[in-house]
C-alpha cells in the first residue's frame, strides 16, 4: 500500500493518522520532493491532488474512508 502525500496537506495527515490508528503498514511518498513519484501518481490516477492511496492497484483520490475500508476488507 502506498500513500502519495505532501507535508502541508491536512487530508494527508488525516489519512496517515487513520492508517496508523488501524495499525496498517504503508509506504508514504512525499510528492512535493519526489518528482518521479508525482508523475507516477498522476499516470495512475489522472489527477494531481493529494492524498492518493494505492491499495493493490486500486487508487483512491482523497480521504474516502468508506472506499478505503472496502478495499482493505477485500
Domains of the chain: 2-73 (3.40.30.10)
Q: Mean pLDDT, to the nearest integer, of 4-10?
A: 97
Give tens-digit pLDDT for 18-31: 999 999 999 999 99
3 neighbors 60 (Cβ within 8 angstroms): no
Cα–Cα dist 41/43, whole Å: 5
Cα–Cα dist 1/56, whole Å: 7
Q: Mean pLDDT, to the nearest integer, of 53-70?
A: 96
Q: Quick check: 74 pLDDT over 90?
A: no
Amino acid at each position: 500500500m502506498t500513500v502519495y502525500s505532501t507535508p502541508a496537506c491536512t487530508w494527508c495527515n488525516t489519512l496517515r493518522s487513520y492508517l496508523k490508528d488501524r495499525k496498517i503498514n504503508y509506504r508514504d511518498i512525499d510528492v512535493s520532493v519526489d518528482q518521479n513519484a508525482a508523475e507516477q501518481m498522476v499516470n495512475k490516477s489522472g489527477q494531481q491532488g493529494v492524498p492518493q492511496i494505492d491499495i493493490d492497484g486500486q487508487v483512491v483520490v482523497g480521504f474516502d474512508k468508506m472506499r478505503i475500508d472496502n478495499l482493505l476488507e477485500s
